[in-house]
Structure formats: C-alpha cells, structure tokens
A = this chain, B = another copy of it.
Amino acid sequence: MPRLITAYSNPLVKRIQALRDKRHRREEGMFLAEGLRILTEARETGRLPQFLFYAQASAQHPLVLALTHDVEAAGGEVIETSEAILSKLSGKDNPQSVVGAFAVFDTDLATLDRTRSPIWLVAERLRDPGNLGTILRTGDAVGAGGLILVGDCVDPFSTESVRASMGALFTMPIVRTNWEAFLPWLRSGPGQLVGLSLRTENHYRTAPYAAPTFLLTGNEAQGLPAEMEAECDLLVKMPMLGKADSLNAAVATAVMAYEVLAHHTPPAKD
C-alpha cells in the first residue's frame, strides 16, 4: 500500500529534495529523476526507484499503476503525495506527475565490453549538465556502447543532466574515471581514439575511422589539452565557415557520432 505524505515538513520529503544537491547525492548514493516518460524508460531497462512519489491525481494512470506495482514488488517505497510536494521535490513550478529516487549506478572501466558497440563516447572535463544529458541522449540514438567521463566532469546524476538526457541516462553504461586510468584501459584492447582538432588536415567526412571508435569530446571552453590530442589515434576537423568559430560541445559530439555511425553502418544505396 502506498504511504500518504502531505506535509512539507516530512523528513523523507526533505531528504529526497536534498538530492538536488551534489553532496547529498554522494552521501545517499541516490539521485532524482522525474516524469512518467523517463521513469517508464528506466523501468523498461530494469531500473526502479527506491522511492517513488506520485500525485494523487495521477494514481489511476496505467503507467503510474505499472510503476507503483513494480516498485513495491522490488521492495521500494511508494508515496502518494500532492502536486505542491512534487513541485518542491523537483524544484519546478509545474512538476511532473512522478518523481523517483534511484540508486546511483555508474560502472567501472573493467566491466565494459568494448565489442558491444562500434561507437563509444568519451568526455573530459565536461562542465554543463545540459550538454552531458544531451550527449547521453545522442549516445542512445547512435547505439553507443557507453559514456566514459574523464577528469572533473559535471555529475551525470544531477537533476539537470537527467532531465536533458530524456531517459537515455538509464539506457547505457556510464563510467567516471580519470585520464591516467582511462588511457591504459583503452590501450589494453582494440580501440581508436578520435579527437576534434583545429590542428589537422583530416576532414571528418573522409577520415579512416576504425571500430571500436572512441570519440573524445573536450571541455566546453578549452577543448582538448595538447597531451590528450597527442594520444589520439586520429584527429579530424569539421568545417567552420562562420565568424564565431566554435560549436557547442554536445552538437560537435553528435555530428561526429552520426558521422562515425554512417561510416561503420553505411546507409543502403537506392
């Protein structure tokens, strides 16, 4: 049976709300995800929240019923609550009808099976949670094997990142590591490290990609450090015809990821 919570001062409400803060996510080992679409995505990939909050008005929605059933069957806690408390949990004026608190689930490099996909995404010192979520969403769309975060990246389990991923967070392995650990792992098996650079003549459309391709995206403001560029097996450049001379990091990653996908899986000719 769902528990009913209607008081702002309820300790569980305070505890779950605090997950919007990085320090509390680390202490609790949990993060927030909101919305029927994203929670249903999670459920379909086998991930259920430890705590599920839903609005009384949505209690009879078939997807809410399916979620509450599965969460209870898995030993999680289901809480019926008000829109006002959902709004408090999510920090949004118009809250989604469900909010879940999930266990953080990033994995280790050692557990990755690099034969799983011809495309892997690697980001170093990515700072913007929207970019991180968008890169996850792109990774899902191109069938990437996973996202490897190198160095001091923004938290992939931050509320903004989860939102921007539109559920893709749940569909692929995420590894948090550093360059000193990543590089030996990469070199311990097949893998082509590819970076975008201005210091190359290789056009990204005609470059010799080899699977599995590890696409390396640099920090939004600074791009790739020279020592990481030097470790790349292939540097490519994209046309920059404008005056501003740069692309958003998530956009550059997506154009590259679709290019590599077309290389490894060419479209059928008419």
Contacts and interface: CB of A to CB of B under 8 A. Distances in A.
B261 A239 contact: yes
Contact of A244 (B167, B248, B251, B262): B167
A206 interface: yes
Interface residues of A, number: 46
Contacts of A23: none
Nearest to A253: B251
A247 interface: yes
Nearest to A203: B267
A239 B140 CA distance: 11
A21 B244 CA distance: 26
A147 to B, nearest CB: 12
Contacts of A44: 243
A249 to B, nearest CB: 10
A27 interface: no
B41 A244 contact: yes
Given A141-B242, A142-B242, 17 more contacts: A41-B243, A130-B130, A137-B244, A137-B251, A138-B251, A139-B242, A141-B239, A141-B241, A141-B247, A142-B239, A143-B242, A166-B248, A171-B242, A206-B270, A250-B250, A254-B254, A255-B258
Interface of A: 41, 44-45, 130, 134, 137-143, 164-168, 171-172, 203, 205-206, 238-248, 250-251, 254-255, 258, 261-262, 265-270
